[in-house]
Amino acid sequence: MVSTRGRYALRVMIDIANNQGDGYVPMKDVAARQGLSLKYLEQILPLLTKNNLVEGIQGKGGGYKLTRVAKDYTVGEILRATEKDMAPVSCLASGADKCLRRGECKTIGFWEGYNKVMNEYIDGVTLSDLL
């Protein structure tokens, strides 16, 4: 399940893409337009900045802007920047311990297939598509 953080990150990225023009978009403006808590956005923006999805400056005229054009972002990379893991089950999570039941698991093929389809889908949708 995608958390609130992931859903809000997509909304923030869309809002910035729609409103940046030639400058930076103040987070208070994004928060107001999206009906989101500025405090919560202050937890999301460092994740987006750390993953080089946005860049920000402080002070008068400050805010955030995209580091690339919208068509060059995938929903998958935005979600992965804000979610701990996108795996549908814990045994497929990155860095997970090897499952002791994997050899006899009747459902692992299903979960691997689901994971593949989901990742192909979210990696095939761009920020530009959402605009």
Dump pLDDT digits (tens) for 33-89: 999 999 999 999 999 999 999 999 988 888 999 999 999 999 999 999 999 889 999
pTM, two decimals, is 0.90
Counting DSSP H helices and E strands in the chain, the numbers are 6, 2
Q: What is the DSSP code (8-state) at residue 74?
A: B
Asked if pLDDT for residue 113 goes beyond 90, the answer is: yes
Q: What is the DSSP code (8-state) at residue 65?
A: E
Please tell me the distance from the alpha carbon of residue 90 to that of residue 75, in angstroms, as a whole number. Answer: 21
At position 76, the amino acid (one-letter code) is: G
Please tell me the distance from the alpha carbon of residue 56 to that of residue 54, in angstroms, as a whole number. Answer: 7
